[in-house]
Amino acid sequence: MAKLGVCMETFFTDMSYEDRIKRIHELGFTNYEFWFHNKRFDGSNLTNEDKDFERIAELNDLYGLTCTDFVFNHPDGGIAAGLIDKNDQNIILEGIERIIEKAKIINCSGLITTSGNRKSNLSGEEAVCNMTETLKIIAPVCEKSGITLLLELFNTKVDHPGYFLDDPNTCIDILKAVNSPNVKMLFDIYHVQIMSGNITGFIRKNIQYIGHFHIAGVPGRHEPDKCELNYAFIINELDRLDYKGYAGLEYWPAVDSSLSLTGTKYYLEGQTGEQD
């Protein structure tokens, strides 16, 4: 089945990142991800804080953990630039190799990339064209480094008003145009369900373009076993499609983080009887 991981930003938010990594290990997970290399999230706010990648590498070795991915560029952190903005292209090109160097320190093979927010002077066609062009330029850098760039769409109805890439079909069109094995879609099930639904049908049609999943319940972005989506069915479908990549738990726990993750792990892994 998909290998479960924990987005450590949304859990144990009162702990240091070092303690969060340790706690994830103690709960039996072997994979995790985080948001930004230069920001700390405390459950409410982002503040400036550079992560210690050398220390993270030590903890990964100590606990036998894999960091699956973190954010490359985003309006709120990482490289503060958008793919849709032609004026940001040089910032992205200059930043990609620097961030890949950080990823290599911790043996991380995935970087999340985002479109950026809509601009009043930029049409949808121009935005897509700019995204495609920039991704085509940085794709060879990722291919050479063994890094998979994960293009993520967000929902604009609840969480990210103003964000450009909110249509999964547009995302696939861009990936087809870029045509790189190292540029894939980050399929956040929560965001896609809010924007367009048809989760299973879309996955079946486009699994070859999907490089990572995010899991959260709809509505509310809480535990996946208590929502309108049948995650048991979805997990079994990923198994049937022979998806062997990662699925990160990125939700706001409605109960204690340890209790929530333990229950979610049992629920999702119990669908096939496999462990991560």
- Write down the residue that tokens 């990662």 correspond to: 246
49 is catalytic: no
pLDDT at position 272: 47
250 annotated active-site: yes
pLDDT(270) > 90: no
Q: Which entry of 9, 33, 152, 223 is annotated as an active-site residue?
A: 152
> How high does pLDDT run on average in the chain?
96
CATH number for the domain running over 3-269:
3.20.20.150
Q: How confident is the model at residue 88 (pLDDT cuts 50, 70, 90)?
A: very high
Q: What is the pLDDT at residue 1? A: 76
- CB-based contact 241:204 (threshold 8 Å): yes
Q: What is the pTM of this model?
A: 0.96
* Region for residue 146 given its phi and psi (left: phi exceeds 0; alpha: psi -120 to 50; beta: otherwise): left
Structural contact between residues 204 and 153, judged by C-beta atoms closer than 8 angstroms:
no
Catalytic residue among 33, 250, 269, 274: 250
What local confidence, expressed as pLDDT, does residue 275 receive? Answer: 43
Domain boundaries, the chain: 3-269
The token pair at 96 is: 């990609």
Q: What is the mean pLDDT of residues 104-117?
A: 98
Q: List all residues 6 or more positions away from 137 whose beta carbon is below 8 Å from its beta carbon.
A: 89, 93
Confidence of residue 271 (pLDDT cuts 50, 70, 90): low
Q: Are 149 and 109 in contact (CB under 8 A)?
A: no
